[in-house]
Structure 1
């Protein structure tokens, strides 16, 4: 129903815990004295002066309480988590005449015409609005979404099924894979190990060696996300020798980011039944040309960097413009494109698979 895996990362179990552990919370919720929602609900509540308690379909799909096929809160899930329906916001489309701001806030009431979750907004901002188009955002983690049109594909390969947007009566869907630690790995090399002084230094350091000399880094600092889903896994570095240098570890870190993205993409291709022809990318990590080239080489397809740095904001603006009946100019495809080299990445991928299996085997033996 939800397209999600059962995990406290999503809202339902958190809401249930609050109702059970905050004195009087459940009783107040049953009396209709409390409201709960995702960040968009709070923002709309503030913008409207407390007059509108609502959420769009993309944000509602992250609560683990939504039936993504009907677009409505699911009675069975509400009963399972013991969450009163009155606590939750009204579900609205991602685009349209959704609410109005309080008149005092901006001198007059202004229409609110677009709401979306951050990754769905980035998908829209990247122009991935047709089946088979995919984007990956490189931040502290990586978040890859592939548009699947009006078909909600149930993943058999460890991905989530989510709502991409609702801009009309029809719901659009996407496959999603989240990698927990990518940019945060570079931060750890900087702050935890002191291998670099600034995050931007990693490109030159990693590029100073031709390969990682057999070093593989599995950055499972907070477990492993899609498609492996192991909350108990922990980070590990394999293949260290007396000849290992900080440059080899830096290169292994960039490889780990690209290899985790590869795992998600292969799962998406298996679920969608078709190869990815191009990956559109955004986020802070895309300024690292070495990482982007590694990514193209591993995926075996072009990697197109978005010309606009903030595609999430662009996507939200596009949805709002659509809801207001304003035509926005489509951005030209003038971003940098990294083409895959002809060199084989099979050995590196096999090395990664072995390290990953060793990490997961260690979890099983604990």
Structure 2
């Protein structure tokens, strides 16, 4: 009888269930999106009750396609910085989850008692003080959500990132997380991989209301998948989605870089056991901690990638289907000077400008639908290039070949533009669902996946042309931040 791992990939847009074979290939997959709740102030939230219902539905559907195969384990990958609060007693959500893109907590990070300690925060976490990360979101939930305040006062409060909440539901009360997620909260000491008392005090979070941090390949407890299995099976891996993709891409050696195109984009470089502290806008993260050994990474994030295409479709009505953007960008005038600065929730590293607003600049009377779509795709690439340039300054032994995965890899214009602007080979993964596959491999005794690249893009633009275009992008950013 064959054996399968059931991988839960909880992304920003939806829930995905994969049935993964022992060799890392996918036997079955199914997805269901959940609502993006955006209020008039631009706050972005998720309804955890909706996500739980979707999860249960998808698990039943996936198991019905397993056939005679045995489900041997469950693994989790997830959107990372989203903040959840739930009842320790009932596991019921106490508030809408605050999504990682949401910057409502800027006023928390600007409090004088927090702001004056930003150097300590950066040193201990590898992250700049920012509303992007989870600690300020936990603080906001405790301050402004009545049900969270009540649970805090009665000892019934659980705070965590989405992995912890999923684990709590699946295992009926196991309260754990691991370093690839915990390192993105701004509450974990990146050297010790433990909750830091000083950081918790800075943000007003009681460590007793946080999950226990264990290794990424730990036994996280057992589950019957909400009663669908007769006997419980182990939950063998949890990884943040970006780190999970890094592992699945086999970027296992220092200097190797991957780019994941999702709702946002994660650019991550494996730095091995080197904890590199940077002052240039990059973040230092834990890639994973396995068998007691910590692997570090340099990281930069683009808030809007797939979300930018959703904006073109749902808000501007410029496209009916994301696939249209490829042909439209190809058809755009090469002489158009339009640039899109997609600061819908500020700009993350390397700019670290949470207050910045989005703008279309450089338009002429000839600018049309194609040119705006092209500017949107280009904006994604310019941000990625800025991050990679900084990485190569910090880690001079980097291997400048990009391993690329995610939902946008089929867009030929976007992939060629990436090769042209970064001036390197771009290797396209044959699998879009690498986050789910990576965490499955992590739970399979650290097995690796041998990927045959589906397509390679090489630069068609010369280096001087590329540099000139990057300079124009940089000048536009500077003009908006004066």
State the TM-score, normalizing by the size of structure 2. 0.70
Q: CA deviation at 1:244?
A: 2.3
After superposition, residues 1-366 of structure 1 pair within 5 angstroms as: 1-23=124-146, 29=152, 32-50=155-173, 52-101=174-223, 104=227, 106-209=229-332, 211-322=334-445, 327=447, 330-343=449-462, 344-361=465-482
CA distance in 1, matches of 2:204, 2:318: 48
CA deviations 1:76-135 (Å, max 9, x no partner) are 112222222211111110113332225955211211111111111111111111111111
CA deviations 1:325-355 (Å, max 9, x no partner) are xx45x22333211011253312211221121
The residue matched to 2:219 in structure 1 has which SS? strand
CA distance in 1, matches of 2:165, 2:424: 40
Determine if contact 1:212/1:252 at 8 Å carries over to the other structure. Answer: no
The residue matched to 1:115 in structure 2 has which SS? strand
The residue matched to 2:319 in structure 1 has which SS? coil
Is the helix fraction higher in 1 or 2?
Answer: 1
The residue matched to 2:329 in structure 1 has which SS? helix
Structure 2 residues without counterparts, runs of 5 or longer: 1-123
CA distance in 2, matches of 1:11, 1:353: 29
Determine if contact 2:254/2:398 at 8 Å carries over to the other structure. Answer: no
The residue matched to 2:471 in structure 1 has which SS? helix
Q: CA deviation at 1:22?
A: 4.5
Is the strand fraction higher in 1 or 2?
Answer: 2
CA deviations 1:278-306 (Å, max 9, x no partner) are 01111111110111001001111101111
Higher RCO, 1 or 2 (CA under 8 Å, sep at least 6)? Answer: 1
Instruction: Return closer, same or farther for 1:285/1:27 CA change in 2, 3 Å cut-off.
Output: closer
Q: CA deviation at 1:48?
A: 1.6
Structure 1 residues without counterparts, runs of 5 or longer: 362-366
**238-247 or 27-36: which moved more?**
27-36
Match of 1:364 in 2: none
CA distance in 2, matches of 1:270, 1:47: 43
State the TM-score, normalizing by the size of structure 1. 0.91
CA distance in 1, matches of 2:149, 2:363: 53
RMSD, aligned CA: 2.0
Q: CA deviation at 1:247?
A: 2.1
